Amino acid sequence: MSRTPHHPTREQIELPTVLDCLSDPIRLAIVYQLAQQERVSSELCCGDFSALAGKSNLAYHFAKLRECGLMLTRVAGTNRFMRLRREDLDARFPGLLNAVINSAARDAGRLQPLFECETVGAEGS
């Protein structure tokens, strides 16, 4: 079995695919939470998103986010740690990710209860 799941190269990242991925409220919430986590410069693992959907449903959305080039998955033991592909996205589509995240932040209230579950602050070793 593949140790590390498949990721597209920077050049393989496509605009319509990225926009389609971001148009789902659950995936938008995942990206939003990953963006919050960027400021703490640590990663999140699947379980940290359990408030958003069931396990298998999350795995489905994670795969979509990975395959479209929005995020990166690192396997460590039984955990999968994830972070945004900030550099690649900014290189391919300058300003896009920030515009989306800022827009999501503005609308956090109206974007479901999905955005109210603050997950920042995991890892309390």
- Which residues of the shown chain bind its own copies in the complex (CB under 8 A)? 14-17, 19-20, 22-25, 28, 92-96, 98-100, 102-104, 106-107, 110-111
Dihedral of CA atoms 65, 15, 101, 118 in degrees, nearest 10, equals: -10
Task: Write the interaction track for DNA spanning residues 65-104; mark x where CB under 7 A is met and - where it is not.
Answer: --------x--xxxxx------------------------
DSSP letter (8 states) at residue 93: S
Report CA dihedral (47, 1, 87, 81) to the nearest 10 degrees: 20
Ranges within 40-69 binding DNA (CB under 7 A): 45-47, 53-64
Nearer to DNA, 76 or 95 (CB): 76
Distance CA 29, CA 27 (A): 5
> Angle at the Cα of 27 (from 5 to 89), degrees rounded to 5?
65
- The site that binds DNA (CB under 7 A) totals a number of residues, namely 27
- The footprint of DNA (CB under 7 A) covers 1, 5, 20, 24, 26-27, 45-47, 53-64, 73, 76-80
